[in-house]
Amino acid sequence: MPYTSAQLIWLVNNGFPTAALRDLLERPAEELDDQAELALGLALRSRGQFSAASAVLEPLSRGGAQRNEAAFFALLEIDLLHGRIDEMQERLEGLPQDAESDRWRLFSARVLGKSDEAEALTKLKMIASSNEVNPYLRRLAAFDAVNLLDKSGQYKAAMEMANQFHRTMAGGSSPRQLIEHLDLQIDAINQGIRPTHCSTDIPPTAFVVGLPRSGTTLVEQMLDNHSQIEGIGEFDGLNEVIHTMTSQGISPYQFSRLPKEDQDQLRNIYCTGARLFLDDADTWTLDKTLLSWSSIPFLAELLSQAKFIHIQRDPRDVAISVLLSWFDYGQHPWTTSLRDIYEIVYRAQALLPRCLRHCGLEHITIRYEDLITAPEAEIKSCLRLLGLEFEANTAMPELNPRAVNTLSYNQVKRGLYSSSVGRWRNYEWLFDQEWHRLAAAAGY
């Protein structure tokens, strides 16, 4: 049964755009009301199909009082991801005076940041400090301001502002559930327990696995330049599979006990969604979902023939990059304090390479630092894993015309730069010997 328009909007806003897309793409155009059109545009944007999303959202964003605000600001976000500042300015100036809102103020400050960082910083701080502004917008403004402070070398001010918002907005969230989940995996490896490989043919499927802010977006953007690889960003398919299981009262830990037809149905949810915009059966999909790094045993059962590119980075650089960014606190509660970050990074470092080997998955481990200094050699090793020949533009992420729909959208379009290596030294006062031992254990 098709979803209602309201249900489609809910699906998109709650991280399941594939389910909405499948429904909408099968409907005749004349059956799509404005709400369904909005859901289609937002779902296409979530999947990184920005040109198609813009074509759907543009008509909805016009029309004075009848203008759809969600469509208008979704288009502004697409412009931002592409770095189209002039288009953003023109779009904002075209609004009637009475349409100026907190969201309008935020995007105006973002545009201003390209020409007058000091004035933009003042405006962003005003938005972030106002209790009358929507908390989501306050957080966006705060971390845009953090970015500008860090960029200008005001490191203590940047960290102070980031910590302030982590404390006030996180709502006491705890990483305990994730820690227990990781500890279960480590215990299973120590006991020699292995996932059941449910052997079945799947299309060419690969994952980039690593902690957030470890370079997963950079790897995906570089490999997406290859003619036989389609980067699918932070695809929601794994989330959708797990949601489908848990909504039926089935734990992901029980996957191997399901009848084969049920396993195949869940596997199909992932593979069909991942290849929704692909015609070539031989093209690899490359998924960098943030869920994959902590779900290796489950992926070994769901998609045992997938290939895995594991990227690691100096844990201190990961910590700083996480602290100066904002994540969904519900999904990533560990990102709000240096102590919690340590607990997760410590376990990830102990788990990831070992778990990939233990689960018998075809994989390669590369370092972010090596990718920056010797990109061709590192990308060639990734392509060998996939059985593909090297193509020169894969060593140049800035050549990728596809915009990035993640927190890294600004960085990857700058190309490869070494200032991201050893960035933690700007915040050296934060790190004790425990952190330095963790880095040394990883070879840093």
pLDDT value at residue 407? 47
What is the topology classification, in CATH, of domain 176-441?
A: Rossmann fold (3.40.50)
Q: Which residues 6+ apart lie within 8 Å of 267 measured at CB?
A: 200, 202, 302, 303
Contact call for residues 305 and 251 (beta carbons, < 8 A): no
pLDDT value at residue 412? 47
Same fold, 1-100 and 176-441: no
| Cβ atoms within 10 Å, residue 179 | 16
Task: Please classify residue 426 by burial: count the beta carbons closer than 10 Å to its beta carbon, then call 0-12 exposed, 13-18 middle and 19+ buried.
Answer: middle
Can you say how many angstroms the Cα of residue 412 is from the centroid of all Cα atoms in its chain? 13
Look at the alpha carbons of 396, 399, 401, 404 in this order and tell me if their dihedral is positive or negative. Answer: positive
- Distance CA(434)–CA(189), nearest Å, equals 25
Total residues belonging to the chain = 444
- Distance CA(146)–CA(156), nearest Å, equals 10
- DSSP states of 314-375: -HHHHHHHHHTS---TTT-GGGG-HHHHHHHHHHHHHHHHHHHHHTT-EEEEEEHHHHHHSH
pLDDT value at residue 203? 96
- Distance CA(290)–CA(296), nearest Å, equals 12
Domain boundaries, the chain: 1-100, 109-169, 176-441
362 pairs with which residues across the strands?
Answer: 307
β-strand pairing of 284-287 with 205-209: parallel
Task: List per-residue pLDDT tens for the chain, 444 residues long.
Answer: 578 888 888 888 877 888 888 888 888 888 888 888 998 999 999 888 899 999 999 999 886 555 688 898 899 999 988 888 999 998 888 877 656 789 899 999 999 988 899 999 999 999 999 999 998 899 999 999 999 999 999 999 999 999 988 887 776 678 999 999 999 999 999 999 988 877 788 999 999 999 999 999 999 999 999 999 999 999 999 999 999 999 999 998 899 999 999 999 999 999 999 999 998 999 999 999 999 999 999 999 999 999 999 999 999 999 999 999 988 888 888 999 999 999 999 999 999 999 999 999 999 999 999 999 999 999 999 999 999 999 999 888 777 776 655 544 455 455 566 778 999 999 999 999 999 999 999 999
From residue 136, alpha-carbon distances to 143, 157, 236, 243 in Å are 11, 21, 21, 25
For 145, the enclosing helix (H) or strand (E) is: helix 135-151
Phi, psi of 62 (to 5 degrees): -100, 175
Among all chains, which residue has been given the structure tokens 């809102």?
Answer: 101
Phi, psi of 229 (to 5 degrees): -130, 135
pLDDT value at residue 10? 85
Which class would CATH give 1-100?
mainly alpha
- Distance CA(18)–CA(212), nearest Å, equals 22
